[in-house]
Amino acid sequence: MAKSLERMTYRELQQLSTRVDKAMVVARDRDRISLRREMESLASNAGLRIGDLFGRGGKGRTVAAKYANPDDPTQTWSGRGRQPKWLVAKIKAGNRIDRFLIN
């Protein structure tokens, strides 16, 4: 049975908080992707594209993340430009880059 919050140590609470924060990032991204697919489907059924409804704005299209840090899912890389420090460190530690691909 799970330990009650009142009986957890400060360190255990910190670890739990970190796990919750990571889970929230993953859930938010999953919900965002799901909503976008739903909106694209609705627009497509009406003979439109998302860009027709909302415009493009900004410099251009944002590229989806292709790699993610398993230790911190908020750290991602699209595969364009310089590799981020977390990825360089992981590769130097002997990991292969394909280990960090987002499915």
User: How many CB atoms within 10 Å of residue 100?
Assistant: 19
Q: Which residue has the higher pLDDT, 44 or 60?
A: 44
Hey, which residues does 101 pair with through a beta bridge?
67
- Rounded distance between C-alpha atoms, residue 94 and residue 77, angstroms: 19
The pLDDT of residue 58 is 56
Query: Does residue 2 carry a pLDDT above 80?
Result: no
Query: Looking at residue 42, what is its pLDDT?
Result: 94
pLDDT single digits (tens) 50-65: 888 887 655 667 889 9
Which residues have C-beta within 8 Å of that of residue 82, sequence separation ≥ 6? none
Q: In the prediction, which pLDDT does 7 show? A: 94
| CA distance to 1, 80, 88, 99, 101, per residue, from 96 (Å) | 38, 17, 10, 6, 10
**Cross-strand pairs, 72:** 69
pLDDT digits (tens, 9 = 90+) for 3-27: 899 999 999 999 999 999 999 999 9
